[in-house]
Structure 1
């Protein structure tokens, strides 16, 4: 019986400032997923891709058609992961150009079937619909499997109570983390790598268990 291998989680952050609320949200989502998987006895290998550091490489890729070694490593981290957290700031009511450009240089079939948690940050809650009209269609086009809960964090969400109609930010982060972890645990590839005789619970059954009574 082989040892259980850690599951791979890629985290893409398109924040531009340092420190960045986009990276902060990415880190909190990562910890939520890690905690859920740890509760199921699964270790997680996290690879963070900071797009700010790859901006010039992404632009050169469009001109040359070839990724730099650093960009190639980032693409490999994302495409080979068992799950993906993708977080972007909202610019002009949509994802940032840097965020879109990164996913434009990835092969259209590379994310097929991959569990994805989509999230975004912005200065006002009015931009929260960017998750549904921009991010979710992007990953649907790439044939990824996007978890039901997409997380948007406006400026007032940090350290506040948020909108009582949509729950607080920590509540939404925890719920999204549970959903992504459930998808990752249910991956046939992950089960095959583990090879430990553990029964795989169907994803529909796992989601049903997450619904409130």
Structure 2
């Protein structure tokens, strides 16, 4: 089983820190799980132009293929201007419509106001519903105040939400695997 965490920004580091923390919590919840972080600031991803996702090359192809090959995913985005980043939206636009179907997905976001958590509910969840993903009921939102001077998460409640998200994702993935096994695949 493989989990991929996507840090959907090309600036800053708080979102990648948060995604990594969830990946670490997943590795404790499911020992032996393969993990990969896609920090999008490390990739030169092309803008979606409507062509077949299989026709993209280089970094764009790697990002698409890595996400499509995952069994579980964490999508993280900072909130800019009350919305997900263009980088995050572009990645969703690049993916084949069936690429996330029946995959367990966790959502995290970072932001500068305490109300920005609503972006997870009002923007990310509907996108994942379109893809027919199994979205964990909980999520993690971290405000800039939740990080210390070294950009480590210092807030105990946020750390607890990370553990809860990992537990929910583990439960959902186990339920889906058991159901798929009963149905013959």
Q: State the TM-score bracket (shorter-chain normalisation).
A: 0.7 to 0.9
Q: What is aligned with 1:62?
A: 49
The structure 2 residue matched to 1:24, chosen from 17, 30, 39, is 17
Q: How far is 1:45 from its partner?
A: 1.0
* Matched length: 176
Could you tell me which residue of structure 1 aligns to residue 28 of structure 2? 35
User: Which consecutive residues of structure 2, in runs of 5 or more, have no partner in the other structure?
Assistant: none
Measured against aligned partners, the alpha-carbon deviations of 1:166-193 in whole angstroms (never above 9, x if no partner) come to: x81011111001111222233438986x
Larger Cα-atom Rg: 1
Q: Which residue of 2 aligns with 1:95?
A: 84
Distance verdict in 2 for CA 1:189–1:109, change over 3 Å: farther
Structure 1: 5+ residue stretches without partners = 1-6, 193-199, 201-213
The two structures, once aligned, show a CA RMSD in angstroms of 2.4
Contact kept in structure 2, 1:57 and 1:68, CA below 8 Å:
no
Provide TM-score, normalisation by structure 1.
0.75
Alpha-carbon distance in structure 2 between the residues aligned to 1:37 and 1:74 = 24
Deviations 1:125-161 (A, max 9, x none): 1211111001111101111010010110001122487
How much does 1:63 deviate?
Answer: 7.3
1:50 aligns with 2:39: yes
Q: 1:44 deviation in Å?
A: 1.2
Looking at structure 2, the residues matched to 8 and 190 of structure 1 have their Cα atoms a distance apart, in angstroms, of 19
Please say if 1:140 is aligned against 2:133: no
Alpha-carbon separation, structure 2, partners of 1:8 and 1:72 = 18
Contact 1:58 1:102 in 2 (8 A): no
Contact 2:20 2:37 in 1 (8 A): no
- Post-superposition CA distance 1:68-127 (Å, at most 9, x none): 132222212211211000000101111101100011010111111110001100112121
- TM-score, structure 2 length as denominator? 0.85
Distance 2:91 2:114 in 1: 25
Out of 77, 80, 86, the position equivalent to 2:69 is 80
Query: Matched residue of 2:49: which SS?
Result: helix
